[in-house]
A and B are shown apart, each in its own frame.
Chain A
Amino acid sequence: QKEVEQNSGPLSVPEGAIASLNCTYSDRVSQSFFWYRQYSGKSPELIMSIYSNGDKEDGRFTAQLNKASQYVSLLIRDSQPSDSATYLCAVEDRGSTLGRLYFGRGTQLTVWP
């Protein structure tokens, strides 16, 4: 059974701060990693994907991957109240090339004005 663990929340940061979300995974050979944002009562929305070690930046979001440490993180710079949501880390099943994902339980982020 593949395990995906996320840092326990909830996480609360002031507007304008950096929010740091962390995730570890058990399957050493996993190659594809994703971050989803889920607003209350809505479905998950794909916000970042990362496949190689290092950093990947998209606007205010930066995903970081360290395969040796089996660790992936998401940084949100200049956090806004609209970023308040649950963030889900997902790891693609190495036996599948068609997208089957294993998810963590999510970290709830609150950005207060």
Chain B
Amino acid sequence: DAGVTQSPTHLIKTRGQQVTLRCSPISGHKSVSWYQQVLGQGPQFIFQYYEKEERGRGNFPDRFSARQFPNYSSELNVNALLLGDSALYLCASSFPGGGEYFGPGTRLTVT
């Protein structure tokens, strides 16, 4: 079975630009979460969606937004990029009580 997929793999943007990251969960998983991981830190929760509804939001500014589609895939949008947004963005899917399964991530570099 295919795991969680993400696109693109790498992305370079300049400050002030906007970016959209995409994710497809494991088949059968209805929950998608987004995490940000900066170098030397553990992943930090950004959003969780279940059945197309937002179920949780971490401590991130309103520049970050997300949505989930009827096929359970998801997009993460970040507006007005800052240098500090440079990180590995991880998408994860899960079933209740089973832990999160991460995709390969999108490496975002903001210059």
Partner-B contacts on A (CB < 8 A): 4, 32, 34, 36, 42-46, 49, 51, 88, 90, 92-93, 96-106
A16 to chain B, nearest CB (A): 29
Partner-A contacts on B (CB < 8 A): 31, 33, 40-45, 48, 50, 55-56, 88, 90, 92, 94-105
Q: Is the CB of A98 within 8 A of B94?
A: yes
23 A-B pairs with CB atoms under 8 Å apart are: A36-B102, A42-B105, A45-B102, A46-B102, A88-B43, A90-B99, A92-B97, A93-B56, A97-B97, A98-B48, A99-B31, A99-B100, A100-B56, A101-B43, A101-B45, A101-B99, A103-B42, A103-B43, A103-B44, A104-B42, A105-B40, A105-B41, A106-B42
**B contact residues around A44 at 8 Å (CB):** 43, 90, 102
**CB-CB under 8 A for A32 and B99, given A43-B104, A99-B33:** yes
Closest to B102 in A: A43
**A contact residues around B88 at 8 Å (CB):** 43
Q: Name A102's contact: one of B41, B45, B48, B105 (CB within 8 Å).
A: B45
Q: Is the CB of B42 within 8 A of A96?
A: no
Q: Is the CB of A101 within 8 A of B100?
A: yes
Closest to A42 in B: B104
**A contact residues around B56 at 8 Å (CB):** 93, 96, 100
B85 to chain A, nearest CB (A): 18
B10 to chain A, nearest CB (A): 11
Closest to A33 in B: B99
**CB-CB under 8 A for A46 and B97, given A96-B48, A96-B55, A103-B43:** no
Closest to B50 in A: A98
Closest to A32 in B: B97
